Chain A
Amino acid sequence: MNSNDQGASERVRSVRPRTDVFETDQALVLVADLPGVDEGAVELTLTDDVLGLRARPNTAAPEGWRALGPTVEAHEFERRFQLATEIDRDGIEAELRDGRLRVTLKKRQPRSSTIAVRAS
C-alpha cells in the first residue's frame, strides 16, 4: 500500500492521457500528452508485457488569482498499455518535453544463427 508522499491523502480523478502509438520495424513509439506534468512526476514501469504510466500534473490555480469560470479539476494521469510485440527491456527510452512524453521501446530483434549441418 503506497502512502502519498505529499501527506494529504486526497483522492484525485484518474484520467487516461491521450496517446498515439506508432510502430516501425525497430521500435514501438508511444507519445502521450501530459500537460502540466514535471519531469520528476512521471512514473513509467514495465511489468511483463504491460507498460504502466502514471503522472501527476500541477493543476493548482495560480496564487492570488480568482477563477472566472470553470477550472481544471485536480487529476492524475494513469494508463496501461498491453504491448503486442516483444520488447528489448534494455532498449527503452523516455523523454518528457513540453508536456509530451515520448517512449521508444526497441523491439527484441529475433536472434538468428546459422546452424551447421553435419553429414553423418
Chain B
Amino acid sequence: MPFSTVIHPRYLTPFQALRSLQAEFERAFDAPHAVPIELFAKDDALLLRTALPGVRAEDVHLEVEGDRLTLSGAWPAEPDEGAGAQHVERPRGRFRRTLQLPFEVDATRVQARLERGLLVVQLPRSEASKPVAIPIRTETTQNKGN
C-alpha cells in the first residue's frame, strides 16, 4: 500500500498531495495491485468474492483454465482527476490475482456479477473433475451377465 495505514483526516497541503499523487501514479504503472479474494466452496461449485468498488463490468477480466483462475482489470480513471486532489487514498491502476482452485471448473458455466462494489463469481465444477462412484462388482452381479 502506498500510504501508511494511519490515515489522517486532515488534508495534506497541496504540494504534499501532488508529490504523493505523483508517486501513486508511478506505482500504478509498475506492479498491478493484488486484491484480496474470498473463496467459498460447495461440493460441486466454487464462489469467489472480492471488493472492487467503482469498477464496472467492462473493467474486469476473468480467465479460467482448468483449475486456475486469473482475475485482472483496472480501476477506472476518476472524472475528478483534473480537479485539485487534496488527498488520495483509493487504489488506482491495474489489479491482478491468480488463484489455484481446489478443483477444475467448467469455464462455460461461470456466472459473475457486480453488486455494491463486490464482484461475485460462481464457478461450477467441471463434469470431468467430479468424483465418480465406482461400482464394485461382486460374483452375483457378474453372473447376471452385466
| Partner-B contacts on A (CB < 8 A) | 16, 18-24, 28-29, 31, 33-38, 57-58, 61-62, 64-72, 79-82, 84, 98-100
B47 pairs with A62, CB closer than 8 A: yes
Chain B residue nearest in CB terms to A32: B90
Q: Which of chain A's residues have a CB closer than 8 A to the CB of B40?
A: 61-62, 65-68, 71
Q: Which of A28, A58, A80, A99 contacts B53 (CB 8 A)?
A: A99
Q: Which of chain A's residues have a CB closer than 8 A to the CB of B51?
A: 33, 35-36, 72, 99
- Is B56 an interface residue, CB under 8 A from the partner? yes
Q: Number of B interface residues at 8 Å Cβ cutoff, please give it.
A: 36
B39 pairs with A29, CB closer than 8 A: no
Known: A64-B42, A65-B47. 7 other contacts (CB 8 A): A31-B80, A33-B54, A34-B53, A62-B120, A98-B117, A99-B51, A100-B53
The dominant DSSP class at the A interface is: loop
Report the bound CA distance from A97 to B116 in whole Å. 7
Q: Which of chain B's residues have a CB closer than 8 A to the CB of A69?
A: 38-39
CB-CB under 8 A for A20 and B85, given A34-B117, A68-B41: yes
Q: How far is the CB of A42 from chain B (nearest CB, A)?
A: 11
B38 pairs with A36, CB closer than 8 A: no
A98 pairs with B41, CB closer than 8 A: no
A29 pairs with B9, CB closer than 8 A: no
